[in-house]
Amino acid sequence: MRQDCFALLAWLNLFDLGSVATEVFAAVSPKAVHLAGNYLADSNVKKPRADAQDAALATRLWAESESIVQAL
């Protein structure tokens, strides 16, 4: 059902499937169930960049995000 909706939207040019193919794959494909928790790119498991795995950078990002949200 979901795949039919995405196909219809793409056909109507309301939704560019190429730009979200990995997200659609992860959301609706039974083949993606066992990939949960992995980084996906081009509908395949990929190793994220080094800075994406940097714990110190993640801590800084979290703190900055909290300060931005608190300021709202």
CA nearest to 63, candidates 39, 71, 49: 71
- In residues, how long is the chain? 72
Instruction: Write down the pTM of the prediction.
Output: 0.54
> How confident is the model over 60-67, as a mean pLDDT?
95
User: What's the structural domain count of the chain?
Assistant: 1
Q: 3-state class of 66 per DSSP?
A: helix
Question: Given a cut of 80, is residue 10 above it in pLDDT?
Answer: no
Tens digit of pLDDT for each residue in 31-43? Answer: 889 998 899 988 8
Q: 3-state class of 41 per DSSP?
A: strand
- Cα 57 to Cα 4, 27, 51, 61, 69, distances in angstroms: 40, 28, 7, 6, 18
Tell me the C-alpha distance between 70 and 20, whole Å.
31
Host domain of residue 11: 2-71
